[in-house]
Structure 1
């Protein structure tokens, strides 16, 4: 049976190659939890938007996004009918859940009758006392994960399409539906959407949850950007970000510092000052960060 495994990143690839599982491999290397996702997934405009964002935000060499992300994915889609099985491998965090939703939504309409689309999504793993990502698990567990994969059908496809469409819409508060009525087959999605909401500036501080934590660590004595990002990576639970994502966020709040090299903050940073200094003209899902704010008291998102 001709199989292709779509993996969530290169760290998973290194372990997957030791698992003994057979089939072709496609590594998904885009970060749909950040940057513009307004255009229909897979369209020319979608890829143009994604390449422009990834190249400018993460200093990717010109043409590398095309060769590493767009070309392999288009090649896979062009011959999707030749596969009897397509297996998605993703994790519980925001980073993975958005990529997973996008692929489920898109491939649900592309797979032909007779092709099985299934999902491995790690989080709670027997024998571990914390949520586990694929890159943290030994290779000998991968066969067990594969054997207990979720086979996707119309119900899952329609749910994923609705959730991804809502995430990419301008109405950020519509995600509430998917947070209060969780879908049993996708148990980590509600927490991921909650983490997404908290990326909008707080109605109380003018800072996102991540930015608040950065400033807290700095006030505790962190003096370099690398040390700060290291602490952020250890602090996070549901974001799943890598160091590049945190460096991007730190760059965004650069106006809050009198000395960025030593992370020395300006002496008076009340909400009004913070709002005047940080440019919120960027995308979080399909919504602009300057159009919405998070209310910690109600734990909901509100239009500004």
Structure 2
């Protein structure tokens, strides 16, 4: 008898999925691999310890909560994979989802799973030109996108592994290869990777794209932090971040402000006051700069 598992990208997707009538067990992947350090050895002890430390600090998670809510459920899932005949991953077009998606496809291709693996990745649903998230479509549409799901094979597994290994390496510039040579089965990945590149400090301004947008809104008169975060959420296109991610970025910018509580900026902004002591994937942010003119990452030491 067939038994299906659906690995979902978040609780909001789970709520709509339950109303879709699609059969199968569900598992919600609660990681944020687009942020913080990510070890190349997925699902290893080093991977989990590193992610626990980052997630607990970045999102103020209580001691033991990450282990309980993320690590142990995933390890239990890994042990039970072969009770299923099909596993379907459900993700979206944005950077947040694309990195999680690539990591899980890489992982699934390395497991002993013997059944069918498939992918639902939404974005372009109709002719409107709008990219839709899973939380923006109806339960009935879930049935349609599920019927049109992509069956994953060796080509998809190998490609995902290549991308994951570069993302978790210390040479993020090599990700540009996957923009220049896109893979048709993952049509949203190039734009997501471009958004990733723009998270590195600009060679021209010393600020990331997100930091620059914060400043644009503030200089236009926004002085309320929560309204500012709301504007950032509406501004984003391929980032897919939540409010906590933008709050953390804004807090990291605090040293450049004349008065952070009032969001008052000085006449001259010194981007060097912002700490770059953090990682994205395997990349040390302090070691790289984004050249807007050439649209490429370069080593900071070669730019000085």
The alignment status of 1:13 with 2:9, answered yes or no, reads no
- Within the candidate set 247, 271, 274, 1:274 is matched to 271
Q: Distance in 2 between matches of 1:221 and 1:58?
A: 28
Counterpart position of 1:30? 31
Q: State the 4+ residue runs in structure 1 displaced beyond 6 angstroms.
A: none
Q: Distance in 2 between matches of 1:248 and 1:99?
A: 20
Q: How many Å apart are 1:291 and its aligned residue?
A: 0.4
Counterpart position of 1:224? 224
Q: Distance in 2 between matches of 1:174 and 1:192?
A: 15
- Closer, same or farther: CA 6–17 of 1 in aligned 2, 3 Å: same
Counterpart position of 2:125? 125
Q: How many Å apart are 1:37 and its aligned residue?
A: 0.3
Q: Distance in 2 between matches of 1:229 and 1:203?
A: 25
CA contact 2:40–2:164 (8 Å) conserved in 1: no
Let me know the Cα RMSD of the aligned residues.
Answer: 1.0
Q: Distance in 2 between matches of 1:61 and 1:11?
A: 23
- Within the candidate set 290, 296, 300, 1:294 is matched to 290
The alignment status of 1:75 with 2:55, answered yes or no, reads no
Counterpart position of 1:155? 155
1:112-141 alpha-carbon deviations (Å, 9 max, x no partner):
33x111000001002543000101111111
Q: How many Å apart are 1:38 and its aligned residue?
A: 2.4
Counterpart position of 1:43? 44
Give the aligned length: 299
Farther-moved stretch of structure 1 (85-94 vs 60-69)? 60-69
1:141-191 alpha-carbon deviations (Å, 9 max, x no partner):
111111100000000000000011111110011011101000000001011
Q: How many Å apart are 1:266 and its aligned residue?
A: 2.2
TM-score computed with the length of structure 2 as normaliser: 0.96
SS in structure 1 opposite 2:258?
A: strand
The alignment status of 1:242 with 2:229, answered yes or no, reads no
Q: How many Å apart are 1:284 and its aligned residue?
A: 1.5
Q: Distance in 2 between matches of 1:143 and 1:243?
A: 29
Q: How many Å apart are 1:39 and its aligned residue?
A: 4.4
Q: How many Å apart are 1:268 and its aligned residue?
A: 1.6
The alignment status of 1:56 with 2:57, answered yes or no, reads yes
TM-score computed with the length of structure 1 as normaliser: 0.96
Q: Distance in 1 between matches of 2:62 and 2:277?
A: 24
SS in structure 2 opposite 1:290?
A: helix
SS in structure 2 opposite 1:103?
A: helix
Q: Which runs of 5+ in 1 are unaligned?
A: none
SS in structure 1 opposite 2:37?
A: coil
Counterpart position of 1:284? 280
- Closer, same or farther: CA 111–89 of 1 in aligned 2, 3 Å: farther
Q: Distance in 1 between matches of 2:217 and 2:281?
A: 27
CA contact 2:40–2:165 (8 Å) conserved in 1: no
